[in-house]
A = this chain, B = another copy of it.
Amino acid sequence: MKSIQAATYSISFQDKGYNELSNLIESNEYSSLFILVDENTLEHCYPKFIENLETTKSIEIIKIRSGEIHKNLETCISVWNSITKLGGDRKSLLITLGGGVITDLGGFVASCFKRGIDFVNIPTTLLSMVDASVGGKTGVDLGVLKNQIGLFANPEMVLIDTDYLTTVTEREIKSGIAEIIKYGLTYDVKLFNKIKQDKNNNINDLIFKSIDIKNKVVQQDPKEQNIRKILNFGHTLGHAIESFYLESEDKNNLTHGEAIAVGMVCESYLSCKLLGFSFEKVNEVKEVILSIYDKVHLSKEDFPGIMELLKHDKKNVNGQVNFVLLNDYEDYQLDCKVSNELITESMEFFNI
């Protein structure tokens, strides 16, 4: 596959990616190399990575515990302390090898260490390949509030090796599919139709197309002042639901994709109620999503807690929740205000 050129870096695939990374390391004369992994990617991905990388330099492994619950500042502090103890300096390179937690947190850690060192993202889950590793958003959660602390910072390159997908569960693959559906609904309905019509798509094609869309959107609006907000479709309610499940001790956590899949159905419903999005299309979105994900039941008792978390959505201004909704497929409207009653109604619609 050919590389995709982002603003200041390239996204390169398979063998070509390893070649570019090897060249990057040689040409920059980094003083030291660090790789951030969790226990899973250390066991299942690191061996392949190290076999494919050509460098005479040694790489220090820094391991954190897997899971969204560790995507916080305490983990950052422990990584910063590790890099410090291992002699990291401004000319060090940090490679992130993992899912969205690793690439988001690693990018943030690198960008703040001694006011910024280079980093390279190697996503190993579908979700981080099509979303987290591209576009320059880095960050960590504050309590249950997702990505509340972070900044925009671009990696030196992104290396996509889809072989790593053999190391993750089907549930994790599905988590990434939700973002691909989002690109389809908001930007290119052909992508949505592909998923609708055939569950056995060539995953490499879906990944390439998704990254290409995300890159195009981000290049138009890197700091999310306008069009980039479409990438939040389904995420406003989705994030609140994801956070709510994360903080509820009696509930199993949802994956990011499971939560935003629910969010996309609800926000399609809002789009129908407030804009020109047809009810047929709402049902089409719901049908495709329920054909992929186990049905989540949103308990009425949980609605107030979810609404409370909506108050912290990063797009909010003056306490007003701002949704991105759809006039039609590929046709969005930013900064839509929605009443609490209608938000509740949309969650009830999901439950039906």
A residues lining the B interface (CB < 8 Å): 31, 73, 76-77, 80-81, 84, 87, 89-91, 111-116, 137, 139, 142-143, 145, 147-152, 311-312, 314-319
Chain B nearest CB from A90 CB (Å) reads 6
A148-B317 contact, Cβ under 8 Å, with A77-B73, A77-B142, A311-B87: no
A114 to B142, CA, bound (A): 10
Query: Residue of B at shortest CB range from A314?
Result: B114
Residue among A114, A116, A139, A150 having the largest count of chain B Cβ atoms under 10 Å: A114
**Within 8 Å CB of A148, what residues of B?**
80, 84, 113-114
**Within 8 Å CB of A311, what residues of B?**
87
Chain B nearest CB from A92 CB (Å) reads 9
A-B contact pairs, 5 of them (CB 8 A): A31-B318, A89-B314, A112-B112, A113-B149, A116-B151
Chain B nearest CB from A4 CB (Å) reads 23
A91 to B317, CA, bound (A): 6
Chain B nearest CB from A324 CB (Å) reads 15
Instruction: Please state if B151 and A137 are interface contacts (CB–CB under 8 Å).
Output: no
Instruction: Please state if B77 and A112 are interface contacts (CB–CB under 8 Å).
Output: no
Query: Residue of B at shortest CB range from A111?
Result: B151
Instruction: Please state if A142 and B80 are interface contacts (CB–CB under 8 Å).
Output: yes
**Within 8 Å CB of A77, what residues of B?**
73, 142
Chain B nearest CB from A311 CB (Å) reads 7
Instruction: Please state if B314 and A91 are interface contacts (CB–CB under 8 Å).
Output: no
Chain B nearest CB from A94 CB (Å) reads 14
Instruction: Please state if A142 and B81 are interface contacts (CB–CB under 8 Å).
Output: yes
Residue among A111, A112, A150 having the largest count of chain B Cβ atoms under 10 Å: A112
**Within 8 Å CB of A145, what residues of B?**
84
**Within 8 Å CB of A84, what residues of B?**
142, 145, 148, 312
**Within 8 Å CB of A113, what residues of B?**
148-149
Instruction: Please state if B152 and A139 are interface contacts (CB–CB under 8 Å).
Output: no
**Within 8 Å CB of A115, what residues of B?**
137, 139, 147, 150-152, 314
Chain B nearest CB from A144 CB (Å) reads 11
A111 to B111, CA, bound (A): 12
A81 to B319, CA, bound (A): 17
Chain B nearest CB from A260 CB (Å) reads 19
Chain B nearest CB from A192 CB (Å) reads 28
Closest 4 pairs (CB-CB, A-B): A31-B318, A114-B314, A91-B317, A89-B316
**Within 8 Å CB of A142, what residues of B?**
77, 80-81, 84
A315 to B80, CA, bound (A): 17
Query: Residue of B at shortest CB range from A313?
Result: B89
Other A-B contacts than A77-B142, A84-B148, A90-B314, 13 sampled, CB-CB below 8 A, are A31-B318, A80-B142, A80-B149, A89-B316, A89-B317, A111-B151, A112-B112, A112-B139, A112-B149, A112-B150, A112-B151, A115-B151, A115-B314
